[in-house]
Amino acid sequence: MDFKSTLKKGCFCLQLKSDTKEGVIHEMIDLLDAAGKLPDKNAALNAVLEREKKMSTGMQCGVAIPHGKTDTIDDLLVAFAMKKEGIEFGSLDGQPSTIFVMTISSSNRTGPHIQYLAEISKVLNVPSVRERLLVAQTVDEVVTILTGGTSISVSA
């Protein structure tokens, strides 16, 4: 799994409209679907919602990583979004979530999914990265911040 390549192929929303956990999940699924990345939107949505029922994917320090697995996906799909005002996401530290990274992957493969979650968690664990993300104005700026300053152009 190439973290930068996967991120580059992802979908981005710099200001979510939703103000609930379920709304954010729906909005991020819609983002992936509008980009033509989901062969079965309902399967992906159900996978993420079912995972969220087991245990909240709200981490700490304003980060949430909703994710799910479905047999309708072959490759790892990624959506990145922000809600600068923050929303309640059931985070471990009880704080609102502002940065959201959704992954949807094949239920037949665990490697890429786990690798990606570990990589993005490591990056988002750095306070200055989170601070810079929340003031980013463009998708290219977000990608540059997440990839450690390496400027890569994002393609749809």
Whether the CB-CB separation of 29 and 96 falls below 8 Å is answered with no
Q: Is 113 a catalytic residue?
A: no
Cα 14 to Cα 137: distance, rounded to the nearest angstrom: 8
From the list 21, 67, 69, 83, the catalytic residue is 67
Torsion (CA) 11, 45, 50, 110 in degrees, nearest 10: -50
Cα 130 to Cα 51: distance, rounded to the nearest angstrom: 25
Q: How would DSSP label each residue in 26-60?
A: HHHHHHHHHTT--S-HHHHHHHHHHHHHHS--B-S
Whether the CB-CB separation of 79 and 43 falls below 8 Å is answered with no
The residues carrying an active-site annotation are 67
